[in-house]
Structure 1
């Protein structure tokens, strides 16, 4: 490890010397561009040595130096690659710097029309906000940006994966109307695709639960509409659970509600999101006048 770090530090020193010698009148006259390219390569070599030594901050800094030189040389694709590499290093030690580097890469990819690449890195930023910084508003924002770019490239499947994240977190933040709309749109898209058709059941189920979080009437309308759109939904365990939940809410019967959820959970294990939403609906049985 120490040997890798020592080699990395020497590469940094050599890179600084190369860069300095490229500057000024005489530097630009006598191989200035070549010296900058050499310096860029040395910074990249240093960054990889720092990675091997697990010096993530230093590795990120070295990749950023390489990116800066690449931008000066108008090598934008290489600059974007260096920014992404820097971001991946910073992810381990400095999340804000990681986001900043990925945003630099996105700007370059967008400018060059590489929208799929830009979308990929919006997802990376969203995941940092989602898993590390726990800032769901910003995670939603970046998943939406990724989805927009994927849709522009007709990558419907990739766009929908991002939108489902948006729906999940929107529901967690009690923006149920937004979540409903996304789940319904993605479900409608899935119904039209023979490979994705089965997944529509899950999306309609989650949409209906979000409707129940809004009010009973919304859910009742959904339970009439969804089987007409996707006939297989009417035969699903999810649909049968929804019918029982609606009946329990109409009767203000918390025991029946709990029993229906327990029965469903014994066959299809509830994940954390479903558990949270179902508990919110249960609490509203006696507290929300719209559900009486």
Structure 2
């Protein structure tokens, strides 16, 4: 047995003894219970060093539950988060359960920014580990809502952009288009974010085209009229030129022109995989061919 794991099990045994004695103590803040919490925390760290993630998580959970019984909500939330971090490696669902308990405490305390951060973590677990896109979207949206309430608009936008990209995977291109468009408009009004506005509107336009051709053409015209920098900026010419060629190819149902437009743009600015996937779906509306590059 690893030396750290051996030490951890000794600490667990000692903590259990302290906790049993604590049942006969008067008052919630008994020294014995506090000592047990400390021992469980130390055991959790020893299990971490031994790479025994499940036992580490269980030890932190014991510390969290005891802290909660002591009305030490902040400490309990910290232990739940620590439990979540180690359990994520072996048991993502249990990791989410721990973070959910931490979120309940933080929202009750009015700590909405940190609650939003943990909703983002849950969203990432659903997205990357459990591949549950609908749940990932739900938690990104909740995080965005909390961030907005705390005037953390940049963080809220980050969550909304994540929702937009995931919505595309579910075929919700209309929703994605609106979110990208909202991010683009907000960025235009912020000097620090203005540079990224063109990219957001570019993605919005692609999503609009995925809804239907007329929708995409209207969006493109609106962006060029309302946001001159979208069409006139020297750096943005590849964006607008590509989308004009894309629009023409779709309208004419010209597969060759569509493929050429994508290839030329991809040579200048590498397309993100999820955008390539959308373009593939667009191409299939005018052809059964599958290779767009």
| TM-score with structure 2 setting the length | 0.94
CA contact (8 A) 2:198 2:230 kept: yes
SS in structure 2 opposite 1:28? Answer: coil
Count of aligned positions: 284
Root-mean-square deviation (Å):
1.3
Aligned ranges for residues 235-254 of structure 1 at < 5 Å?
235=232, 236=236, 237-254=238-255
> Bigger shift: 224-233 or 258-267?
224-233
Give CA-to-partner distance per residue, 1:206-234, whole Å, 9 cap, x none: 11111111111111111111122321110
> Bigger shift: 203-212 or 223-232?
223-232
Superposition deviation, residue 251 in structure 1: 1.1
Distance in 2 between the 1:227 and 1:241 partners? 13
Aligned ranges for residues 148-159 of structure 1 at < 5 Å?
148-159=145-156
Match of 1:261 in 2: 262
Distance in 2 between the 1:135 and 1:219 partners? 29
> Bigger shift: 82-91 or 270-279?
270-279
List structure 1 segments (4+ residues) > 3 angstroms apart after TM superposition: none
Unaligned runs of 5+ in 1: 288-292
Superposition deviation, residue 110 in structure 1: 0.4
CA contact (8 A) 2:73 2:105 kept: yes
Give CA-to-partner distance per residue, 1:105-133, whole Å, 9 cap, x none: 00000000000000000011001111111
CA contact (8 A) 2:29 2:70 kept: no
Question: Relative to structure 1, is the Cα distance of residues 14 and 193 closer, same or farther in structure 2, using a 3 angstrom cutoff?
Answer: same
Distance in 1 between the 2:13 and 2:135 partners? 39
1:234 and 2:260 matched: no
Match of 1:12 in 2: 12
Aligned ranges for residues 102-121 of structure 1 at < 5 Å?
102-121=99-118
Distance in 2 between the 1:32 and 1:131 partners? 41
Unaligned runs of 5+ in 2: 289-293
| TM-score with structure 1 setting the length | 0.95
Report which of the two has the higher share of helix: 1
1:164 and 2:165 matched: no
